[in-house]
Amino acid sequence: MNELIFLVEEAPEGGFTARALDQAIFTEADDLPSLREQIRDAVRCHFEELNEMVKALPFYTLPSKTPAAKTK
């Protein structure tokens, strides 16, 4: 395994959720910066032998599918 891909979504009750596509990893947080930390922590717990590698875990953000607000 070289990478983990997480699906990040806004939660209906507020905040955000993140679910790994190929692993049984799920986490949630109130905002995106907190969610990044929660993802790192969840990955550390899931792959204890990779703790040193997780410190440098990069994040890439894809554009949202939500339509942008129109400006006049």
Whether the full predicted model's pTM is greater than 0.85, yes or no, is no
9: phi then psi, degrees, rounded to nearest 5: -135, 155
- For residue 7, give both structure tokens: 């699906």
Q: What is the pLDDT of residue 17?
A: 95
The amino acid present at 56, given as its one-letter code, is A
Q: What is the pLDDT of residue 46?
A: 86
Are the C-beta atoms of 48 and 68 separated by less than 8 Å? Answer: no
Q: What is the pLDDT of residue 66?
A: 52
- Ordered per-residue pLDDT tens for the chain, 72 residues: 568 889 999 999 999 999 999 899 999 999 999 999 999 899 888 887 766 555 555 666 666 655 444 444
Beta-carbon neighbour count of residue 6 at 10 Å?
20
4: phi then psi, degrees, rounded to nearest 5: -115, 135
Q: What is the pLDDT of residue 69?
A: 46
